[in-house]
Structure 1
Amino acid sequence: MELNDIVGSRIKALRLEKKISQETLAGLADIDRTYMQSIEKGQRNISIDMLRKLAKALGTTMSAILQDID
């Protein structure tokens, strides 16, 4: 599994755990919903800044999203 896929899956899992839609998360992170969808599908390389925005919007940390990724 590629790194993009792992990060995207973790973001999606956290979003579903919080019971929020892609559209809501995208709004909180100030990005387009289609971009959010492509992140969750592992189709995008996201920047550190984007990871920070998404972590903040999800109420977690970047390190929690990246935990145990080698």
Structure 2
Amino acid sequence: MDWIKILAGNVRRLRVEQKLTQEQLAYDAEIDVTYLRGIEGGRRNPSVRVIGRLASILGCHPGKLLDESST
């Protein structure tokens, strides 16, 4: 199981569903937009703290970002 790709797909899907740009989500999560692009591209391994901030902004439990059935 590739957790990074599962996380990437869930972050991207939730962001698009909520009509947020990468720039908006990155700004709200207090991370650089290139870092968010790396997360969504499956090239970056975010910390638990960053996963928590992304989940909070996306309105979900952090565990949902790692839910393989959601991709």
TM-score, normalization by structure 1: 0.89
Percent identity (aligned): 38
Q: Could you list the runs of 4 or more consecutive aligned residues of structure 1 that deviate by over 6 angstroms after TM superposition?
A: none
Over 3 Å counting, the alpha-carbon distance change for 1:59 and 1:45 in structure 2 is same
Which has the higher relative contact order, 1 or 2, with Cα contacts under 8 A spaced 6 or more apart?
2
Q: What is the alpha-carbon distance in structure 2 between the residues aligned to residue 12 and residue 35 of structure 1?
A: 13
| Gap runs ≥5 in structure 1 | none
Task: Count matched residues.
Answer: 69
Check conservation: 2:10, 2:65, Cα contact below 8 A: yes
2:34 aligned residue = 34
Name the stretch that deviates more: 58-67 or 44-53. Answer: 58-67
* Unaligned stretches of 5+ residues in structure 2: none
Computed over aligned residues only, the root mean square deviation of the Cα atoms, in angstroms, reads 1.5
TM value normalised by structure 2: 0.88
How far apart are residue 2 of structure 1 and its match? 2.1
Alignment-derived partner of residue 55 in structure 2: 55
